[in-house]
Chain A
Amino acid sequence: MNNKLTTMAPWLAYFLIFGSLIFVGGDHTIHIASQVIILGLFAIAFNVLFGTTGLLSFGQAIFYGLGAYITGMMAKSFGGDFFVWALLIAPAAAIVLSVLLGVLSLRLSDVYFTMLTLAFAQLAWGICVKWSSFTGGDDGIQAIPKPELLAGGLNYYIFSFVIVTACLYLLWRLDRSPFGSVLKGIRQNPTRISFIGMNVFRHKLLAYMISSCFTAIAGGLYAGIDKSIHPDMFVWTMSGSIILMTILGGMRSFFGPLIGVAVFILLEDEIGRATQYWSFVIGAIMITVVLLFPKGIVGISRHFARLFAKKGGQRDNP
């Protein structure tokens, strides 16, 4: 019973915080909250690769940008009513692309994998910038039409909230499934996983496809927030920021990345406006987290919770 409560508590907090914003949030808060849940989906999908399977991809932005561009360009060409359909085509396209890239890059281990994913994302960014007749080049695409029902900021937030929650539930079930356990096993000891008859490569590829698919959904949703997309969604600092948010929150916990995204975006909203040296701040945060708090915010709070529990126990005991 108690156990069940602790597993459900993060979900409860999630619904309380992001659900209550529907009723109390102002325009700016809703805008920020939309970014948090959408990037939160991106970060949690990324963590399927990084925290769970132990694969550091530095190029997940390729699927984020792909999702955004498919959604944005389709809605632009076929009209606002197509926006929702485009959101379904985006993850399908991401799965196809992830199989192609995954077969190439997952054969390689470790640093090679990281660098290859980075190179592919930069290639996509280069194509997106250079092929301006098709993609709009450096300017990106503005004034993406949406269905009338999703026009307002609040309506779009509710729409995003529903989709993100559904995606998170699927990812959460996946994390706790036997398949999720195999992925964790691959992170800890790939040799043993192959000894018990599991195909390590196939599981890695599946994890890569799943992560990419949900990342594309996040990208497609993002295209609707400001109705504009730009090539920077492909660029490597996008992937870098997602990695930072993930470890800032805590890569060993399912909701950790979402917490990291929320903290990061709130900080950016405050500090990013005050200074032009925001990258410097990001870099400093990253060094601090990597050196001192590799388990992130969730790790720190778990540590304190354990300390607290111990003290409580001692008081009861004598």
Chain B
Amino acid sequence: MSFEIFISQFFGGLSVAMLLFLVASGLTLIFGVAKVFNFAHGSFYMIGAYFSYQAIALFDNFWIGALAAALGAGLVGMLLEICFIRRIAGREEEGAFQILLTYAFILILDDAVKFIWGPAYKTISKPESLAGSMDFGAVTIPTYNMFIIVLGLVIVVSAWYVLSRTKTGKIIQAASTDTQMVGMLGVNVSLVMSLVFGVATAMGGLAGAMAAPLRTIAPGTGVEVIIDSLIVVVIGGLGNFWGALFAALLIGEVNAFGILWMPQWASLLSFAVMIVVLIFKPKGLFSREKGRKKI
């Protein structure tokens, strides 16, 4: 493998990893804070892509599309949390019912986009300002991929900052540790949970909009994304923010180089990585034993 190919595959893998991280970190955030396993998280990625497609069709502006994706997915996420997920909180075997409820969301959202936008594939193009590529001597990297990498890093850092360095972050963490106590201090805990849900699903929707120029938009794409995100959170440890980042990078790069090595089987390599990790570290690479939830 020449150095040029190595570098360009590496950056390709990095941009995939960042998109994966955007989805997986939302999944991990909801689980870590609201103790909800959102099986439908990949579907918010999918509806984000559709919202951005619709907004671009109306306003012909990529950035309005991205905004529409994040806002739309976030609002739908909050709505579903308030109308359904909240209602089964505290029930016996809550965890299993959460998974079933969010599984129903997947089925419904898949058919809803089929109903609204039709079953055919949709595409959107990169914004003109990012359509070119960057030359680094012998290596050329598409500007758009660089943009996704930078955007991903910005979101990683700001999410970390908000969660660990601000008062809002402290309230969110406290609410996940002791809901009742935080409620007694005058914080509207259920509102906090809804907002966390909204922010996390907005991140998923944004990832969908950002990935749309690189992939196609179709009903059912959410399923592929949620499986990849599951692999990422299982490797990194559910509820572990930095674990998700590391695992997303690992899976992104494994896929980028795997496709050179064994093209036909590349899509199954992530599973192989996950199984190897599980044999040696059953609760993820960065597991912390405490604070895990029981179904």
Contacts and interface: CB of A to CB of B under 8 A. Distances in A.
Given A290-B100, A291-B84, A279 B107 contact: yes
Nearest to B239: A111
A54 B93 CA distance: 8
Contact of A247 (B100, B107, B278): B100
A111 B108 contact: no
Interface string B10-26: 00000000000000000
Contact of B227 (A112, A122, A240): A122
Contact of B223 (A58, A104, A114, A236): A236
Given A119-B227, A283-B105, A56 B278 contact: no
B226 to A, nearest CB: 9
Contact of B230 (A115, A247, A282): A115
From B100, B267, B278, residue with most partner A Cβ within 10 Å: B100
Nearest to B101: A290
Interface in B262-290: 264-265, 267-268, 271, 274-275, 278-279, 282-283
Nearest to A239: B103
Contacts of B87: 291
B148 to A, nearest CB: 26
Contacts of B101: 286-287, 290-291
Contact of A56 (B99, B223, B238): B99
A108 interface: yes
Contacts of B271: 119-120, 122-123, 126
Contacts of B267: 126, 130
Chain B facing A: main interface SS: helix
Contacts of A127: 268
A243 interface: yes
B167 interface: no
A97 interface: no
A115 B234 contact: yes
B243 to A, nearest CB: 13
A27 to B, nearest CB: 31
Counting contact residues on chain B (CB < 8 A from A), the size range is 35 or more
A112 B238 contact: yes
B107 A283 contact: yes
Given A119-B234, A122-B227, A287-B104, A110 B268 contact: no
Contacts of A107: 282
A112 B95 CA distance: 11
B170 interface: no
A123 B269 CA distance: 10
Interface in A99-142: 104, 107-112, 114-116, 118-120, 122-123, 126-127, 130
B110 interface: yes
B275 A104 contact: yes
Nearest to A108: B282
A152 B230 CA distance: 44
A283 B114 CA distance: 14
Nearest to A282: B107
B96 interface: yes
Contacts of B115: 277, 280
Interface in B92-123: 93, 95-97, 99-101, 103-108, 110-112, 114-115
Nearest to B87: A291
Q: Which 10 A-B pairs have CB atoms at the shortest separation, nearest pair first?
A: A283-B107, A280-B111, A283-B108, A286-B104, A110-B295, A283-B104, A123-B271, A279-B107, A56-B96, A277-B111
Given A112-B283, A280-B111, A290-B97, 8 more contacts: A50-B96, A110-B95, A114-B295, A116-B234, A126-B271, A282-B107, A287-B104, A290-B88
